[in-house]
Amino acid sequence: DAGVIQSPRHEVTEMGQEVTLRCKPISGHDYLFWYRQTMMRGLELLIYFNNNVPIDDSGMPEDRFSAKMPNASFSTLKIQPSEPRDSAVYFCASSPPPGQGAYEQYFGPGTRLTVT
């Protein structure tokens, strides 16, 4: 398997613009997670899905952030409008059903977002 795939790898945009980050989880994994990593705040869980349904979005910083998972192989994280403080590395991760005994999450390479 190719692992978790994220695109784009780098994104530079101006304040106020809409940004869409994309993720393809590992096939067969039914949990998908979006994280944000910054020097100041470390690694933060933003939202996670199970079987394409959002389960916990308590980490989403504000209404400017939204995430969708229209099918088992694709998820998006959208920021509209973007602000300089959104600059961070955004990771997508997936994990298999607990019954498969794996429990660990597998991370994508991340999208480095810079908002100027």
Partner 1 sequence: AQSVAQPEDQVNVAEGNPLTVKCTYSVSGNPYLFWYVQYPNRGLQFLLKYITGDNLVKGSYGFEAEFNKSQTSFHLKKPSALVSDSALYFCAARRNTGFQKLVFGTGTRLLVSP
Taking the complex as a whole, the smallest distance from the CB of residue 59 to partner 1 amounts, in Å, to 9
Taking the complex as a whole, the smallest distance from the CB of residue 57 to partner 1 amounts, in Å, to 12
Task: Name 11's bridge partners.
Answer: 113
Taking the complex as a whole, the smallest distance from the CB of residue 91 to partner 1 amounts, in Å, to 6
Q: What is the Cα–Cα distance from 53 to 30, expressed in whole angstroms?
A: 10
C-alpha dist (Å) from residue 71 to 2, 31, 45, 98: 18, 12, 21, 20
Taking the complex as a whole, the smallest distance from the CB of residue 74 to partner 1 amounts, in Å, to 18
By beta-carbon proximity to partner 1, the closer residue of 65 and 91 is 91
The binding site for partner 1 (CB under 8 A) comprises: 4, 31, 42-43, 45, 48, 50, 56, 91, 93, 98, 101, 103-110, 112
By beta-carbon proximity to partner 1, the closer residue of 54 and 109 is 109
By CB neighbour count within 10 A (0-12 exposed, 13-18 middle, 19+ buried), where does 5 fall? middle
Q: What is the Cα–Cα distance from 91 to 9, expressed in whole angstroms?
A: 10
